[in-house]
Amino acid sequence: MFDFDVIVMGAGLAGMRAALAASQNGSKVAVITKVYPVRSHSNAAQGGINAALTDRGDNWEDHAFDTIKGSDYLADQDAVEVMAREAGSEVINMEHMGAAFNRDDEGRLGVRAFGGQREARTFFVADFTGQALLHVLHEQVLSSGVQVFEEWFVTTLITEEERCVGLVAMDMRTGELHVMRSKAVIIASGGVGRVFEPSTNALICTGDGISLAYRAGAGIMDMEMVQYHPTTLKNNGALMSEAARGEGAYLLNAEGERFMERYAPNMMELASRDVVSRSEQTEINEGRGIDGCVLLDARHLGEKLINERLLQIRQLGIDFAGKDMVTDPVPIRPGMHYIMGGIKTDIDGLTSVPGLYAAGETACVSVHGGNRLGANSLLDTLVFGRRSGEHASEWVKTQAPASIDDTHASRCLEEIQSLLDRDSGEMFGQIRLDLGQTMNKHLAVYRDQKGMEQAKSDLADLKQRYASVMVQDKNKIFNTNLIFTLELGFMLDCAETTIIGALERKESRGAHTRTDMPERDDKNWLKHIVVSQSNGKPKIDYVPVNITKWQPQERKY
């Protein structure tokens, strides 16, 4: 059995920032990650990270207001204030650790414009910001004494007397299960992208931590808020960063019209993501699209700027759509990108289960509410990753180790063994694909009661199929067949909380747009929806939105 003060599940930006903070505060820390750390999805972040720096005449309150308006007033304003206030120091801290942000002509940190914000306040490293930040934090974690368990897969959280006291993880190289005892666990396991198909997310984004927290009794909040990004590539759903529009690219319909004039005359292509995605979908639905897409036109930006700032997405367009953005408009459409909901936490990352924390895309603090602004997620991972690491490492100083032993691993082993012993049944692949397709059909940009009920009934069938799923590969060493099957179980839980939240919310707000209930209803629905498990069944609770000083207004861009 391993023994730590704090265990962090996940080595993306949130997990590494949390681990570093906890270790610097004196805790004995482990990070567990199912992939090599720098292959975490944070690595794929392209566009940048927001912060209002006062030396530009910007201020945190403007950033907070833009975020709250972007969230369609569902974000908790105390949490947004914390994020916007602490943004500057986090970005400067990353710079001091070694992140080589792009510079402006005067040699200061450069900024680009991003959607839904009245100021250009997005700091960036070309179009691979996430990669740059992740490598810097990885170096820091490696030199900090944190023990990193690479290619270890967390299967279960251990709770004792309703307190989280560790977890069980599989060393994927040997297939062996280990009990890892700790006084606190921080879940930083990223989003649920692949519950939808297609998605901009990596194949590993399967909502493992959200499901584990749900099974451990934690509240899961606002899962109906699923972000469809306005510019994903036609063929494979890969992301064409908002940075393209931030640098000045246009959106055109089949008639060559900059159609955003009709929907957001002031902000145009840089309205918030939910607004742009709805506008595109309306154009497509009303017959002004081309093969289910509209066009991203960056030709007027010129090859020099594109190569300096958008080189990676230029290559994506060439490789996957056969279009070079220097010479051709690129066909794009709204695609699943981000989950605003997640494990409900306070502003220090604490969940409703003592000893259990969450940070990053896995968590719902909530700073994104009904719609996240581009470049606020990297910021969320750093600010709340650090805060949860700091808080957990203080808390563990007051805690005695729990008296647990290896029986937890043997129980997990029995479950996995019975899965491996099954030698007939369906494999995970088709179930996973059917799940993704039903979610993408019924819980996309536009939703209605009938479609969401269809998704609910499809999910019941999929769960039944999963109950007799077979793992064909019986080996212990790097059994990816087994890992994918376990992940599918997590994905089904995430889909369940999403569908429950979506059916519950009887209004349109942010990314949750119902054609049968098109208005926002602040009187009845200015509140969070929390789903938790009670006696194995989902239970719904409401939590009021925390409003500090910005009263809900009509949202126009």
Ligand X SMILES: Cc1cc2nc3c(=O)[nH]c(=O)nc-3n(C[C@H](O)[C@H](O)[C@H](O)COP(=O)(O)OP(=O)(O)OC[C@H]3O[C@@H](n4cnc5c(N)ncnc54)[C@H](O)[C@@H]3O)c2cc1C
Tell me whether residue 244 or residue 452 sits nearer to ligand X (CB atom).
Answer: 244
Least distance between ligand X and beta carbon 10 (Å)? 3
Per CB under 6 A, contacts with ligand X among 151-210 are: 153-154, 188-191, 200-201, 204-205, 208
Say whether residue 19 binds ligand X (CB under 6 A). no
Closest to ligand X by CB, 41 or 333? 41
Q: Find tokens 């376990």 and name the residue.
A: 486
Cα-Cα-Cα-Cα dihedral sign, residues 461, 481, 172, 198: negative
CB count in 10 Å sphere of residue 476: 15
| 163-171/446-447 β-pairing | unpaired
CB 521, min distance to ligand X, A: 29
Q: Residue 313 interacts with ligand X (CB under 6 A)?
A: no
Cβ proximity to ligand X: between 239 and 500 the closer is 239
| Catalytic position from the list 112, 121, 245, 555 | 245
Q: Is 239 in the site for ligand X (CB under 6 A)?
A: yes
Please report how close the Cβ of residue 114 comes to ligand X at its closest, in angstroms.
Answer: 8
Asked whether position 41 contacts ligand X by CB under 6 A, the answer is yes
Question: Stretches 371-379, 392-400, 423-431, 528-536: which one binds ligand X (CB under 6 A)?
Answer: 371-379
Closest distance of CB 387 from ligand X, Å: 14
- Integer Cα distance of 125 and 110 in angstroms: 9
Least spacing, CB of residue 187 vs ligand X, in Å: 8
For residues 104 and 124, the answer to whether their CB atoms sit within 8 Å is no
Residue 89 vs 236, nearer CB to ligand X: 236
Looking at residues 124 to 153 of the shown chain, list those that interact with ligand X (rule: CB under 6 A).
129-130, 153
Distance between CA atoms of residues 76 and 78, nearest Å: 6
Which is closer to ligand X, CB of 51 or CB of 443?
Answer: 51
Helix 449-467 / helix 428-442 crossing angle, nearest 10 deg? 170
Q: Which residues 261-280 are close enough to bind ligand X by CB under 6 A?
A: none
Strand locations in 10-79 (E): 29-33, 49-50
User: d(Cα 445, Cα 281) in Å, to the nearest integer?
Assistant: 7
How near is the Cβ of 13 to ligand X at its closest, in Å?
4
**Interface segment toward ligand X; rule CB under 6 A; list 30-38, 264-272, 531-539, 545-553:** 30-38
Residue of 229, 309, 337, 386 marked active site: 229
Minimum CB separation from ligand X for residue 78, in Å?
21
Task: Give the torsion through C-alpha atoms of 327, 43, 76, 373, to 10 deg.
Answer: -10
Q: Which two tokens stand for residue 111?
A: 């900024």
Q: Mark the segment that binds ligand X (CB under 6 A) among 31-39, 93-101, 174-182, 290-298.
A: 31-39
Instruction: Enumerate residues 6+ apart whose C-beta is below 8 A from 494.
Output: 192, 195, 206, 207, 210, 211, 223
Q: Which residue's CB is nearer to ligand X, number 134 or number 294? A: 134
Count of residues that bind ligand X according to CB under 6 A = 43
Which residue, 110 or 451, has its beta carbon nearer to ligand X? 110
Q: For residues 48-67, which are near ligand X according to CB under 6 A?
A: 48-49
Judged by CB under 6 A, which of 13, 84, 164, 383 binds ligand X? 13
Hey, CA dihedral for 238, 243, 247, 248, is it positive or negative? positive
Closest CA to 351 of 335, 337, 340, 362: 362
Among 46, 71, 232, 513, binds ligand X (CB under 6 A): 46
Closer by beta carbon to ligand X, 359 or else 531: 359
The answer to whether the peptide bond before residue 71 is cis (omega within 30 degrees of 0) is no
Name the closest residue to ligand X (Cβ): 12
Beta bridge mates, 331: 295
Residue 8: which of 353, 358, 320 has the closest Cα? 358
Q: Which residues contact 509 (CB under 8 A, 6 or more apart)?
A: 72, 73, 74, 370, 520, 525
Q: Give the separation between CA 375 and CA 90, rounded to whole angstroms.
A: 14
Binding mask 374-413 for ligand X (x = CB under 6 A): -xxxx--x--------------------------------
Q: How many whole angstroms separate alpha carbon 367 and alpha carbon 461?
A: 34
- Least distance from ligand X to the Cβ atom of residue 11, Å: 4
Report, in Å, the least distance between residue 526 CB and ligand X. 25
Q: What's 352's DSSP letter?
A: S
- Smaller CB separation from ligand X, 200 or 371: 200
Stretch that binds ligand X, among 28-36, 84-92, 97-105, 389-397 (CB under 6 A): 28-36
Residue 229 annotated as catalytic: yes
Identity of the residue, 310 or 452, whose beta carbon is nearer to ligand X in the bound complex: 310
Full DSSP string of 243-309 = HHHHTT-EEE-TTS--THHHH-TTTGGGS-HHHHHHHHHHHHHTT-SBTTBEEEE-GGG-HHHHHHH
For position 110 contacting ligand X by CB under 6 A, the verdict is no
Q: Which two tokens stand for residue 327?
A: 């010479």
Using DSSP's 3-state secondary structure scheme, residue 495 falls into helix
**Smallest distance from ligand X to CB 169, Å:** 7
Q: Nearest approach, Cβ of 112 to ligand X (angstroms)?
A: 10
Residues 6+ apart with CB under 8 A from 17: 137, 359, 381, 382, 385, 386, 389
Nearest residue (CB) to ligand X, 415 versus 461: 415
Among 28, 34, 314, 323, binds ligand X (CB under 6 A): 34
Structure tokens at 390: 């700091």
Please give the Cα distance from 325 to 303 (Å, whole number).
Answer: 9
Helix (H, G, I), strand (E, B) or coil at 530: strand
Which is nearest to 275 in space by CA: 237, 330, 242, 229?
Answer: 229
Task: Look up residue 422 and give its DSSP letter.
Answer: -
**Residues in contact with ligand X, shown as a per-residue x/- string from 344 to 363 under the rule CB under 6 A:** ----------------xxx-
Stretch that binds ligand X, among 267-275, 373-381, 400-408, 456-464 (CB under 6 A): 373-381
Active site residue ranges: 229, 245
Residues that bind ligand X (CB under 6 A): 9-15, 32-35, 40-42, 44-49, 129-130, 153-154, 188-191, 200-201, 204-205, 208, 239, 338, 360-362, 375-378, 381
